[in-house]
Amino acid sequence: MPELYRELINLADSDMYPFHMPGHKRNVQSTPLKGAFRCDITEIDGFDNLHQENGLILEAEKRAAKLYNAEKSFFLVNGSTSGVLAAISACVKENGTILAARGSHKSFYHAAYLRHLNIDYLPIKMLNEYGIFDGYSGYDVERALDEGGRAEAVFITSPTYEGRCSNIEEIAKVCHRKGIPLIVDAAHGAHFGLGEGVPDSAVHLGADVVINSLHKTLPSMTQTAIIHINGNLIDEKKIKRFLSIYQSSSPSYILMSSIDLCIKEMEEKGEAYCEKLLQYRNMVGKEAEGFENIRIPGTDILQDPAKILISSRFSSMTGQQLYDILREEYHLQLEMAGEKYALAIITGWDTEDGILRLISALREIDARGSSVLPEMSAESDNEDENFEVCINELPKRALFLSEAWDDDKEIVPLSECEGRISGEFINLYPPGIPLIIPGEVIDKKLIEDISRYLAKDLNVQGVFQVKNGENKGIIGKRGLVCVKPK
Amino acid sequence: MPELYRELINLADSDMYPFHMPGHKRNVQSTPLKGAFRCDITEIDGFDNLHQENGLILEAEKRAAKLYNAEKSFFLVNGSTSGVLAAISACVKENGTILAARGSHKSFYHAAYLRHLNIDYLPIKMLNEYGIFDGYSGYDVERALDEGGRAEAVFITSPTYEGRCSNIEEIAKVCHRKGIPLIVDAAHGAHFGLGEGVPDSAVHLGADVVINSLHKTLPSMTQTAIIHINGNLIDEKKIKRFLSIYQSSSPSYILMSSIDLCIKEMEEKGEAYCEKLLQYRNMVGKEAEGFENIRIPGTDILQDPAKILISSRFSSMTGQQLYDILREEYHLQLEMAGEKYALAIITGWDTEDGILRLISALREIDARGSSVLPEMSAESDNEDENFEVCINELPKRALFLSEAWDDDKEIVPLSECEGRISGEFINLYPPGIPLIIPGEVIDKKLIEDISRYLAKDLNVQGVFQVKNGENKGIIGKRGLVCVKPK
């Protein structure tokens, strides 16, 4: 069976001369990217069309669907972003309602904005011990659906960025009893279900639409992803329509062949990949058992073995300090820093040398005993008090997201925002949650929370400086974007 | 000044170990893409963020803006598609009106769909001699604006796919007199303004937003593009907001570094590139002067020297036959075939050998004298009669695009469609025009036209087979997607 990637090389090796796009004519010689340039084409004869596939690309997608046990799979060259936008647009009617967690990816909110959706929220559930989002049970979703009662689809992120899973099997059953589809943002779980010892895939557990970022944990290039669909609650034509809206009409053959290569690699070596990943994970976990200051939760807590959350909660270090030490002193670049943790991603493509460097660095950092906080233990009843971030209640909504984000706005000094309607997203990273979204009412607690986060130098996005206008004397002060009163 | 591309290589050469995305860990060794994998990262320290750029990417965008004389330029990793979606979304209020040519790219229609826009159309103008779209004058736009009177922006494609330009300078003046922005889809004109002898750029000619596909005519990878903004009619923040909606939150550093490399190349060698392009164009043009059967219009007609339209109008060949001969007998892959022409793209990255192969092939094909149609000449009064495709009048509109495309639909046999409202786009390629869009009324002439195009094996997209339902006995017949009557 012809493979996309091999056909591109065959073409490059042939005497067929390109009087077509791209303009580089596969003739860029001077860079390490030259191998990629050599395979970079457009939709010429024999190379199919991502948006109306019936040849090479369709065959490649079929192989991917088989690997993931999906009825249909479509390649994404605009990231999971385009998959989330398309899935929500196709599954929920305009002005309809969707049930989701507050901490969903921004592409979720963008879809809700574009399609004028009403969002029903699941209650915020945190794993307080680590300051990260918890997963959801079938019961959580059932209760939220019963309370809201109008949702046309449920949107769940599993695994989370930090590797925590929801009970997709239960949630899918709840959704199907109600006759609505379950969309799973499994951007971080492309490796799930591909071998022994990693969690099962959301496709296999009964989700109707599943989106995987192939680049996050598998050997595929950044910006590549895949969307799987299953069952009769999904209108495949609508999914395809929205994918053709949200994705370039000139999709990259480099990205598509990278997806094809990745699928082939996982077909052939998926088991070995997962074995290696688990071996690496166990090496780190075993070492961590002896640590006194830093903690690494096991896969009983963070089910995804590709995520290593290195908690500094029982030391005086912040997550950022831990991250910086690893980067600056040990030249280990981690994925991100939380308030009291740093997060590493490992995969089957790591080298043993790399893993040993991480272990050795963590051992040394742990041994810097002076930074241990006395009188603390994981079993402490007051563990929440270690965290600045404690998000429980959602702001009240005055306008729909789509109304408020498009409305006329002004920047109002933080101290004067109480009671005003937000005109922007204010996000806290991590854990990556909107503290408020356009259309919600800014209350006193939110102002206090934002002030506290800012004072602690946490990463709050969506706070601006007051620039001009009526508020003389306070230019330069911090302010929030508010909807102008009518 | 640090360059994105060089910094990626420096990183790859360093001992910094990646405990972050992408999952391939820059460790894919076995393919010609390995050089690209080696430079493929995510937003780690020091590598900026496309959606909130303030470092390397901002510097790279500033260099691009300088090259194009734009106030601001933003890199696009989801093609011109994302630029068109963002430009229209930012420049026209939801439910607002935009003036555009009927033959605009599908991303234009997608933006109109997503944002519930009303579309005022410019009259259809064809260059009948070649069966392609003509450009527009300031007068054309002024008249259309005066007739419509509510448009908040004008959207013009220049150059067209085939290389025909509109008078952007005049059109910009008209727009600015009316206080509305001009958006130019210059996807095919990324090389404009970068050297002597190529047309001036739309940015320089006064357009407010210009979108260029860098991959189409310059040495950048497929799916890369750039958007330029100028003047005070454009809300930069809104453009950025929509770009972050329509583009992946995990943008490819391969694509971004390809853009950066392309800009650098054009800074250093833009003049030489344009010289070479013109030299190639002149070689082909000079040879074509002696042809008896095939014709190649000069740059006085198709201003873009990167496009070589090879007309078979005065021979018995169709455009597809010409295209197939070039491909199968001469191993020259052209960009596309029209009813009576084949289109080649040439750039400064072609080789002289490639151009000589094209010339030699065309000379031989032209010399196949037997295929000349007798009694025909370029000056014939009846030249229109050579073309099946003759589009003049637009269908009537019954529903807005966004209403109709989301409505319930059914497939109706072609013969029974008269008077029904279309639920789909029906496109004719080339010239790439919607014969009808969702919400418009199917009339008798359209049914006749579609039947004729289908009989001639032209590429009509959006015609389906009747599958099931009420219409027993006619299953398998051709049908159109119609809005279900209420």
pLDDT of residue A377: 43
The answer to whether B295 contacts chain A (CB < 8 Å) is no
Q: What is the DSSP letter of A160?
A: -
**Percent share of chain A, pLDDT over 90:** 80
Q: In this complex, do A27 and B349 lie within 8 Å of one another by their Cβ atoms?
A: yes
Alpha-carbon distance B329 to B312, whole Å? 17
- pLDDT tens-digit series, residues A248-274: 999 999 999 999 999 999 999 999 999
Please say if the pLDDT value at position A387 is more than 80: no
| C-alpha–C-alpha distance, residues B213 and A170, integer Å | 46
Phi, psi (5° rounding) for residue B297? Answer: -60, 145
What pLDDT digit, counting tens, does each position of A344-360 carry? 999 999 999 999 999 99
| Reported pTM | 0.94
Predicted confidence band at A378 (pLDDT cuts at 50, 70, 90)?
A: very low
What integer pLDDT is reported at residue A375 of this predicted model?
Answer: 43
Distance from CA of B260 to the nearest CA of A (A): 13
Q: Is B46 an 8 Å CB contact of chain A?
A: no
Rounded to a whole number of angstroms, the distance from the CA of B213 to the nearest CA of chain A is 9
Distance CA A131, CA A127 (A): 6
pLDDT per residue over A178-233, tens digit each?
999 999 999 999 999 999 999 999 999 999 999 999 999 999 999 999 999 999 99
Q: If you count them, how many residues does chain A have?
A: 486
Residue to test with chain B: of A223, A257, A310, A330, most B Cβ within 10 A = A223
User: Are residues B421 and B406 in contact, defined by beta-carbon separation less than 8 angstroms?
Assistant: no
Which runs of E-coded beta strand occur in A15-71?
17-19
B347 at the A interface (CB within 8 A)? yes
Give a three-class secondary structure readout of B398-439. CCCHHHHHHCCEEEEEHHHCCCCEECCCEEEECCCEEEECCC
| pLDDT at res. A357 | 97
- Find out whether B284 and B296 touch, Cβ atoms under 8 Å: yes
pLDDT bracket for residue A474 (50, 70, 90): low
Q: Which residues in chain B are contacts of A214 at CB distance < 8 A?
A: 23
Task: Enter the tokens of residue A189.
Answer: 């779980």
User: Is B333–A20 a contact, with Cβ atoms under 8 angstroms apart?
Assistant: yes
- The pair of three-digit structure tokens given for residue B245, joined into one six-digit string: 């909606």
**Interface probe with A: pick from B250, B256, B263, B406, most Cβ of A within 10 Å:** B250
CB contact under 8 A, B23 and A247: no
Report residue B361 as tokens. 């092939």
Chosen from A109, A221, A308 to mutate, greatest number of chain B CBs within 10 A:
A221
B24 to A190: CB separation less than 8 angstroms, yes or no? no
Determine the distance in angstroms separating the CA of B22 from the nearest CA of chain A, rounded to an integer. 5
Confidence at residue B456, expressed as pLDDT on a 0 to 100 scale: 80
Chain B residues with beta carbon closer than 8 angstroms to that of A309: none
Tell me what pLDDT residue B459 has: 85
The model's pLDDT over A135-170, given as tens digits with 9 standing for 90+, comes to 999 999 999 999 987 999 999 999 999 999 999 999
Check residue B372 and give its pLDDT: 46
Q: Is A467 on the interface with B (CB under 8 A)?
A: no
Smallest CA–CA distance from B46 into chain A, residue: A333
Please give, rounded to a whole number of angstroms, the shortest distance from the CA of A211 to a CA of chain B: 13
Cβ–Cβ contact A130 with B under 8 A: no
Question: Is the pLDDT confidence value at A382 over 50?
Answer: no
pLDDT at A292 over 50: yes
CB-based contact, A186 to chain B, within 8 Å: no
Task: Determine if the peptide bond prior to B431 is cis (ω within 30°).
Answer: yes
Please give the pLDDT value at position B390: 63
Which chain B residue has its CA at the smallest distance from A215's CA?
Answer: B22
List of chain B residues whose C-beta atoms are within 8 Å of the C-beta of residue A347: 23-25
Question: Residue A62 and residue A81: Cα distance in Å, rounded?
Answer: 22
**What SS3 state is found at A300?**
coil
Contact B221 A36 (CB under 8 A): yes
Q: Which residues of A touch B217 (CB under 8 A)?
A: 21, 23
Q: Omega of the bond prior to B159 within 30 degrees of 0, cis?
A: yes
B108: chain A residues, CB-CB within 8 Å: none
User: How long, in residues, is chain B?
Assistant: 486
pLDDT at residue B475, rounded to an integer: 56
Contacts of B378 (CB under 8 A, 6+ apart): B129, B295, B314
Positions of chain B with pLDDT lower than 70, given as ranges: 1, 369-391, 468-476
**pLDDT value of position B432:** 79
Residue A43 Cα distances to A12, A249, B429, angstroms: 15, 10, 14
